[in-house]
A and B are shown apart, each in its own frame.
Chain A
Amino acid sequence: KAGVTQTPRYLIKTRGQQVTLSCSPISGHRSVSWYQQTPGQGLQFLFEYFSETQRNKGNFPGRFSGRQFSNSRSEMNVSTLELGDSALYLCASSLLPEDYGYTFGSGTRLTVV
């Protein structure tokens, strides 16, 4: 079966712009989580969605937002980009939020210049 698909794989944006990243979970998975990975801060939790509802949110500013559609696909948006937003953004899906079987995508590498 197809894995978690994240698009695009690479992205270069300038400061002040906004960006939207997409995540398609494994078919049948209804829970989607997003993480930001940087060399300095490591893996940090952004948000978790289940059945189109945000269940949990990490400690990130309001510039970071997300949503989940009825087909479980999820998008995250970052507005007014800053240099510090340069990171690998990883999406993970599971059948249910409590499942231990998180499956990650390959990530979107965002570079802000």
Chain B
Amino acid sequence: AQKITQTQPGMFVQEKEAVTLDCTYDTSDPSYGLFWYKQPSSGEMIFLIYQGSYDQQNATEGRYSLNFQKARKSANLVISASQLGDSAMYFCAMREGNDMRFGAGTRLTVKP
């Protein structure tokens, strides 16, 4: 069964605007971690942000924030003030114990 779902294959955003990339997950384990990674065309996966299942506050890292809604099992990534360099694939991932799974990804294109 698919554990991580990213329903948006592609997204467009105007430069300097904010964008939300959706991610829902499925788990019965009370302890898990949620991640977002960025993959530019070069192929390297760049870690953006992490949210632990017990964290009370939403994680933030610079222009990235994670909108964590535990009851809805949702962990959306919000990018504020988009830049042209934000154009890339974005992957949501969840770690339960030894198991790390990734969503199918969302391709974000930032328009000038």
- Seen from chain A, the residues whose Cβ lies within 8 Å of a Cβ on chain B are 33, 35, 42-43, 45, 48, 55-56, 88, 90, 92, 97, 100-107, 109
Contacts and interface: CB of A to CB of B under 8 A. Distances in A.
B contact residues, range: 20 to 34
A35 B95 CA distance: 14
B102 to A, nearest CB: 4
Contact of B35 (A45, A102, A107): A102
Interface of B: 33, 35, 37, 42-47, 50, 52, 91, 95, 98-105
B46 A42 contact: no
B99 A101 contact: no
Interface SS of A by simple majority: strand
Contact of A100 (B33, B45, B98, B103): B33
Contacts of B103: 42
B47 A101 contact: yes
Contacts of A88: 43
B60 to A, nearest CB: 15
